[in-house]
Structure formats: C-alpha cells, structure tokens
C-alpha cells in the first residue's frame, strides 16, 4: 500500500490508539492486522515505530526492515530504522539508512541531525557541520511533516523535528565545533540550545567542555555542576570534567570526594588525562584507561575494517598521527625528529587530524616529511582506510588520551604495529596499542604491571628541537618583574597546582623575602584564589606575578629572566622542563612515583643535571632554599645549564639512532609473526 493511501479501518483504529498514547492497545491492533495481512507494509512500519517508542530497538529494526522490503520508498520507515540502528550501536547501517532518507528527502531535518551527530562521533567533523547547519536552516517538508508515521519517529527525541533553532541540532553543532578545536565558536550554539531547553543536560555538559577549552573555567564549572545536578546518576566523564573545572579554578574543597564519585560512577569513565592530576596508583590508572579504551572499541565495532595495500618490500613505512601538528608543545618537541629520520630506511608519513592553522610550524612539519596529509575532514573509517592504503608498517600515535585524540582510528587497526609516544604520560590500556615508547626513568624496571603495552625503553623519552628560536633578550621591567628579586618560575597549566604544591611555594616565599613566584596567566578567578591563599599565608599577593600567553619564541626568552624553574607533583613538568633548559634557566625536579611525575627527571638525566632531582618534597624545598640563598651556587648551576646545550638532551641525531633501532625491531618482530615484546635501546 502506498504510504499516502487511505488507511483501512483496522489500521486507522490502531493508529488512533497509537496517536492517543495507548501503545499496548495499538500494538495489539497492529499485530491482529498483520496476522490477517502479513504483507501490510504500513502496519509493519507503524508497529516498528511503536516498538522504537517503547525502547525495543531490535524488534523495531526487524519490523522496519520488513516494511522497507515491501515499500522501499517509505522515507519515514527508513528514518525510524536509522534511529533504531543508532540505539543498537550499528552505526554503519544507521548511516546508510539516513543517507537513503536524504537521497529521497534532502531537507529531512531528523536525518540531517542524526547523521550529523553520528559523523561527529566518528570524527567526520566537516561533513557533520555541513549537515547540522543544513538542518538548522531547514523545515520539515510540509507534506512529510503532516504524516503521523514520520512525525512519530521525530518525536522520539525532543527537537528532532529540526526546526530552525532546534535544541538537538544546536547541541550537535556545538559538539562538532568543539571537536574541531573551535571552542569559542561552539559556545554560542550550545547556549542557544539551552535557551530552548534549559534542562538539556548533554548541552550543559558540552558547553562546560567548550568553556573549559576556551579558558573560561568559572562558567564551565557552573555549566558542569548544573549537568551533574540534572543527571540522576552522572557518568564518570561528567564528574571528571566537573572536577577538572574546579582544579582550574583552584577550588580544592571537596575534590577528593568528587574524584571518588567519578571513579565509582557508570560509564563513560573519567577522561584518563584528568586522573593524572591526582595521586592515584598505577593499577587504578590502567583500569580507568582500559575502561575508556573499551568505550572506543564499542564505538567503532560496526565500522568496516581497513584493507591494507599490498606493496613490495622496501623502506619501513612509518606514520605519525596527531591533532597537535601545529603551534603546540608536541610539535615543538618532535619537529626535528620527523625531519631527520633516515630516509634510506624509513618513508615518513604524518597525518594531521586538526585543520591547518596557517602557522609556521604546520608548514615546517609539512615540508619535513615525505607524505603529509591533512585528514581533519575524515571520519574514523575513512582515515583508517587512508592509512591502510598508504601501506603503513608502523603507526605512532602522538596524542594518547588527550583532548581531540583519534584513538578510534587505531582501534580499527590500520597498521600491523601501533605504538604511542609523547602525548600521554602513561598506559592507554588499549589492546590495539602494541608498544609504549618510554625510557628507564619515566618507566623504571618493575613498573610493567601498570601498562597494557610492551615497553620500549629509548635512550631518553623526550625528543627536543635544537632549532627552536629564542626572541631577543627582555628585561625584567618589561615583563613586570622586580629587577632585584629572586624569581622562582613555574609555567605549568593551572590544574597541576594543588594544596601541597601551593603550600610549599608559599613557605618558600616566606623564607625568601626577596623572592617572587612567576606563573603563567590564568583565569581571573584562579589568579584571585592564589592571591587570597598567599595573603592568608602572610605573603603579599603582589609577589605572585602572572605572565600572559606569548608566541613560543617570546615565551622561551622569558625563561632567561628566571633564577629557578620549579616542579609540580604528582603531574610534573614536561615540555616546560626542556623549555627552561633550552633557554638557560635551571630546572629542578621532584621524582614522582610514576610516569606523569618523572618526565622532568628524565629530561635532567639526559642533560647531565641529575643532581637537580630530589626524591621528596622536603628535599625539593631544601634544594630551592639552598640555591635561593646562595647566588654563587645559582650562577655555577646556570653555567652548567648553558653547557647542557651540548648534552644528549639536545642531540637529535643521537636520539634518532636509538628511536630508529626501536622502530626497526618492532617491525621485524611483526614481520616474523612474533608478538610485541619489551625492548631497550641505549
């Protein structure tokens, strides 16, 4: 029967019950009709829509497929099938259903919104954004909207009618922009969604994430706290985000209780990166990472696996993938390494998953490898197939569990050997990652139980770039520092601070009355919290000096004005440690219990400055006090730091010797059919 044809009396009666919300009676009516007329496509479609309303996605999908076999042109049935498949996690088939709807009805708002949301989850942000903007600019076709079976599917989620200003479409658009790193742009559509639906918990959660990334932690904390309150049982990742916002504001009261709630909450689990700011044992960090990896695997379970291109033997095809291949700390570390790979042994590919920012680092990286691909517009399956078609032998992820990762691509296994390095200081807990590149300081012998990967210990963990420019020297007056003060610097992210770190720093300022503490600029509320804590400790708030964000060369030049660079714990200095040494500033390190707190120590070992590492907070404090009171000792240390420019820390060719030996060994094991195994080089 054609979808628009007059209804038979029995079907009309069941439909009236359906419209009245008397679903059980309506279902019995549809079933009686189908026993008499098993091939009634309209009854099958409406019963399928009803089952979907009742939350029975699998029976709904079966009924809707039967209806479409009889009436392939029924766009409403195909749309409802797409919704059912989404609920079942069968994303590939859901995508095909929504694309089929749009082929027949290009302005179908529900299909536009849902396909956009689906592609957004898979990382296909560019097409997702275009679909969502189309949805927000379109209305349902008048004839289609008048049909009950089309509207029925649309009412399964508030807003799926895709009218201009639709809350779900606005939320999905905001999430899409946030996923592309366009955090400030994401805020407006998310606020518009909340203006339409003030109790929209997911939009509040997305708004909080965008505000956090846009460095508005106070507004983020408000949004995330509201989202927590609206959820009867908030998820681990929502509670973790709310906790991170508090850390960014230095609101530490209740943090331990909120962390405990996040760890005990249902999936999705807290972001593994957010857990590194707390003194958690390696076993807990591994378990949480594994839970996050299981979420990723589930998201891509229905996607097609990539088909690797066959090719003749030759150079090892080495790929790096990251969303940080632009002006970012990871790129500043790895640029020279990528440029200097032995091209006789390796063909180097780089996959940039973030859009081109037009900056000099992006251009440098693009020129520094043989194959550079901007893949920011590709979803997971398409990107995995792109890598497989390139015939990669070994793929190195440089993001780990950091914002904007694309680990769902690695879960599809585009390369026979997969490793992670640099982006995330710890295990990824993922069965699809074979190796973690570390060294004997960040991952000493005996720590293996904390990792799901085989550990490959390099001569040192962190690469450096000996070509990093320094801007012309500045004066202390130019940057707001007292000319004669002892300047103690720490240019870490605000969430690395905690009550123990701050208490030690304030004791130093009390004991060293001529000292100032030089920190990176933070949100006004965070700076005010630190100044209030200083005042309560008897330290003049003006002795905390905040440095605004600057381009890399100018930022590095500032280090020359500091006397000592301090460490944080349990998440210590990473790129900031090698930055300080490159610029000539002595870096001190407190050796942590596990990876996040041991990178600065690794850097100092490579620089020949192991005596700047201490094993306890008391020793760290004593070392700072001794150097703070002894100008001659500081001068001697500064001379040693200047000499460290010739150390192993800044020797990229020497570092590459060990790195490339590791890559060759990992590849050789795979070629021989052997499983990943721990290895050491240097």
Of 164, 194, 214, at which residue does a domain stop? 164
**Could you report the per-residue pLDDT of 219-228, keeping only the tens digit for each?**
999 999 999 9
What pLDDT score does 616 carry?
96
Q: Mean pLDDT over residues 275-297, rounded?
A: 96
Distances (CA, A) of 10 to 37, 614, 632: 11, 83, 98
Domain-located, residue 282: no
Considering 40-44, 188-192, 347-351, 552-556, the range whose residues carry the highest mean pLDDT is: 347-351
Question: At 299, is the pLDDT very low, low, confident or very high (cuts 50, 70, 90)?
Answer: confident
Domain-located, residue 289: no
What pLDDT score does 157 carry?
31
DSSP-derived letter for residue 147 is S
Do 608 and 531 lie in one domain? The reply is: yes
What pLDDT score does 465 carry?
92
Question: At 162, is the pLDDT very low, low, confident or very high (cuts 50, 70, 90)?
Answer: very low
Domain-located, residue 278: no
Q: Mean pLDDT over residues 662-682, rounded?
A: 96
- Report field, pTM of the whole predicted structure over 0.75: yes
Q: Mean pLDDT over residues 237-254, rounded?
A: 96
Q: Mean pLDDT over residues 386-395, rounded?
A: 97
Q: Is residue 163 over pLDDT 50?
A: no
Do 315 and 429 lie in one domain? The reply is: yes
Do 599 and 674 lie in one domain? The reply is: no
Q: Is residue 234 over pLDDT 50?
A: yes
Q: How remote is the C-alpha of 70 from its chain's centroid?
A: 44
- In DSSP terms, 454 is beta-bridged to 435
Distance between the two ends of the chain, CA-based, in angstroms? 75
CA angle 209, 213, 214 (to 5 degrees): 115
Burial 239-254 (b: 16+ CB within 10 A, else e): bbbbbbbbbbbbbbee
What pLDDT score does 2 carry?
47
Domain-located, residue 114: yes
Pairwise pLDDT comparison (18 vs 566), residue with the higher score: 566
Q: Is residue 250 over pLDDT 70?
A: yes
What pLDDT score does 160 carry?
35
Number of compact structural domains in the chain: 4
Domain-located, residue 487: yes
Q: Is residue 165 over pLDDT 70?
A: no
Q: Is residue 417 over pLDDT 50?
A: yes
What pLDDT score does 146 carry?
28
Specify the range with the lowest mean pLDDT, choosing from 160-174, 204-218, 507-521: 160-174
**How many angstroms separate the CA atoms of 621 and 2, rounded?**
81
**How many angstroms separate the CA atoms of 373 and 350, rounded?**
6
Q: Is residue 498 over pLDDT 80?
A: yes
Do 506 and 620 lie in one domain? The reply is: yes
Of 147, 164, 181, at which residue does a domain stop? 164
Specify the range with the lowest mean pLDDT, choosing from 60-74, 166-180, 256-270, 335-349: 166-180
Pairwise pLDDT comparison (408 vs 303), residue with the higher score: 408
Do 419 and 457 lie in one domain? The reply is: yes
Do 155 and 180 lie in one domain? The reply is: no
Q: Is residue 26 over pLDDT 50?
A: yes
Domain-located, residue 290: no
Do 644 and 656 lie in one domain? The reply is: no
Q: Is residue 193 over pLDDT 50?
A: yes
What pLDDT score does 90 carry?
87
Domain-located, residue 472: no
Question: At 309, is the pLDDT very low, low, confident or very high (cuts 50, 70, 90)?
Answer: confident
What pLDDT score does 145 carry?
31
Q: Identify the CATH number of the domain in which residue 320 sits.
A: 3.40.50.11380
Q: Mean pLDDT over residues 189-203, rounded?
A: 93
What pLDDT score does 7 carry?
64
Q: Mean pLDDT over residues 180-202, rounded?
A: 92
Of 164, 193, 222, at which residue does a domain stop? 164
Q: Identify the CATH number of the domain in which residue 628 sits.
A: 3.40.50.2000
**Could you report the per-residue pLDDT of 8-25, keeping only the tens digit for each?**
788 888 888 888 888 899
Do 548 and 657 lie in one domain? The reply is: no
Domain-located, residue 579: yes
Domain that holds residue 135: 9-164
Do 461 and 331 lie in one domain? The reply is: yes
Burial 637-668 (b: 16+ CB within 10 A, else e): bbeebeebeebbbbbbeebbebbbbbbbebbe
Q: Is residue 5 over pLDDT 80?
A: no
**How many angstroms separate the CA atoms of 89 and 135, rounded?**
23
Structure token pair of residue 381 = 């399956």
**Could you report the per-residue pLDDT of 108-123, keeping only the tens digit for each?**
888 998 999 898 888 8
Specify the range with the lowest mean pLDDT, choosing from 130-144, 148-162, 402-416: 148-162
Q: Identify the CATH number of the domain in which residue 212 sits.
A: 1.25.40.10
The rounded percent of the chain whose pLDDT value lies above 70 is 95
Do 433 and 489 lie in one domain? The reply is: no
**Could you report the per-residue pLDDT of 325-384, keeping only the tens digit for each?**
999 999 999 999 999 999 999 999 999 999 899 999 999 999 999 999 999 989 899 999
Q: What is the mean pLDDT of the chain?
A: 91
What pLDDT score does 506 carry?
98
Question: At 505, is the pLDDT very low, low, confident or very high (cuts 50, 70, 90)?
Answer: very high
Do 517 and 645 lie in one domain? The reply is: yes
Q: Is 283 exposed, middle or buried (0-12, 13-18, 19+ CB in 10 A)?
A: exposed
Three-class SS string for 440-481?
CCCCCCCCHHHCCCEEEECCCCCCCCCCCCCCCCCCCHHHCC
Q: Mean pLDDT over residues 567-585, rounded?
A: 96
Do 525 and 424 lie in one domain? The reply is: no
Pairwise pLDDT comparison (386 vs 145), residue with the higher score: 386
């Amino acid at each position: 029967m054609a979808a628009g044809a007059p209804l038979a009396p029995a079907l009309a009666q069941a439909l009236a019950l359906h419209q009245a919300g008397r679903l059980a009676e309506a279902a019995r009516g549809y079933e009686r009709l189908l026993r008499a007329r098993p091939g009634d496509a309209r009854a099958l479609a409406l019963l399928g829509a009803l089952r979907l309303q009742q939350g029975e996605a699998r029976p709904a999908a079966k009924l809707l497929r039967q209806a479409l076999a009889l009436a392939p042109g029924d766009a409403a049935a195909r749309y409802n099938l797409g919704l059912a498949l989404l609920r079942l996690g069968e994303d590939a088939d859901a995508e095909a259903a929504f694309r089929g709807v749009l082929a027949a009805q290009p302005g179908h708002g529900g299909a536009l919104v849902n396909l956009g949301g689906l592609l957004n989850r898979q990382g296909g942000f560019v097409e997702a954004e275009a679909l969502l903007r189309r949805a927000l600019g379109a209305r349902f076709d008048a004839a289609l909207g008048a049909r009950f079976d089309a509207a029925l599917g649309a009412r399964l989620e508030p807003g799926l009618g895709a009218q201009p200003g639709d809350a779900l479409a606005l939320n999905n658009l905001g999430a899409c922009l946030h996923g592309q790193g366009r955090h400030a742009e994401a805020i407006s559509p998310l606020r518009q969604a909340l203006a339409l639906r003030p109790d929209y918990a997911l939009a509040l959660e997305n708004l909080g994430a965008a505000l956090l990334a846009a460095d508005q932690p106070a507004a983020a904390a408000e949004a995330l706290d509201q989202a927590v309150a609206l959820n009867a049982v908030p998820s681990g990742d929502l509670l973790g985000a709310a906790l991170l916002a508090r850390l960014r504001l230095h609101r530490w009261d209740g943090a331990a209780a909120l962390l405990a709630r996040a760890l005990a909450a249902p999936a999705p689990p807290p972001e593994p990166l957010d857990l590194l700011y707390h003194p958690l044992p390696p076993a807990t960090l591994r378990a949480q990472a594994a839970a996050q990896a299981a979420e990723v695997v589930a998201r891509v379970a229905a996607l097609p696996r990539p088909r690797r291109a066959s090719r003749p033997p030759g150079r090892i095809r080495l790929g790096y993938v990251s969303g940080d291949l632009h002006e970012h700390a990871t790129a500043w570390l790895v640029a020279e390494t990528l440029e200097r790979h032995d091209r006789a042994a390796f063909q180097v590919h780089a996959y940039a998953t973030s859009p081109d920012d037009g900056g000099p680092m992006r251009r440098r990286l693009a020129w520094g490898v043989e194959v550079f691909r901007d893949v920011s517009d590709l979803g997971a399956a398409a990107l995995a197939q792109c890598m497989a078609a390139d015939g990669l032998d070994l793929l190195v992820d440089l993001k780990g569990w950091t914002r904007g990762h694309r680990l769902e691509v690695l879960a599809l296994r585009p390369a026979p050997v997969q490793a992670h390095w640099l982006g995330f200081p710890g295990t990824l807990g993922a069965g699809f990652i074979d190796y973690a590149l570390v060294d004997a300081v960040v991952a000493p012998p005996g720590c293996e139980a904390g990792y799901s990967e085989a550990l490959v210990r390099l001569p040192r963990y962190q690469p450096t770039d000996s070509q990093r420019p320094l801007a012309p020297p500045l004066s202390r007056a130019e940057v707001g520092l007292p000319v004669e003060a002892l300047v103690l610097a720490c240019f870490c992210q605000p969430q690395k601070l905690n009550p123990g770190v701050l208490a030690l720093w304030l004791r130093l300022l009390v004991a060293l009355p001529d000292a100032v503490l030089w920190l990176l600029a933070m949100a006004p509320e965070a700076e005010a919290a630190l100044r209030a804590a200083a005042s309560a400790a008897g330290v003049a708030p003006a002795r905390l000096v905040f440095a605004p964000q600057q381009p890399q060369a100018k930022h590095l030049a500032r280090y020359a004005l500091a006397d000592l660079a301090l460490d944080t714990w349990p998440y210590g200095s990473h790129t900031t440690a090698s930055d300080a040494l490159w610029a000539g500033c002595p870096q001190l390190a407190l050796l942590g219990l596990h990876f996040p707190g041991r990178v600065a120590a690794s850097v100092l070992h490579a620089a020949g400055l192991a005596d700047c590492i201490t094993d306890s907070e008391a020793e760290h404090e004593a070392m700072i006090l001794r150097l703070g009171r002894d100008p001659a000792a500081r001068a001697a240390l500064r001379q040693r730091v200047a000499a460290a420019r010739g150390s192993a820390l800044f020797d990229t060719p020497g570092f590459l010797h060990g790195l490339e030996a590791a890559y060759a060994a990992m590849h050789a094991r795979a070629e021989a059919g052997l499983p990943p195994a721990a290895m050491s080089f240097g």
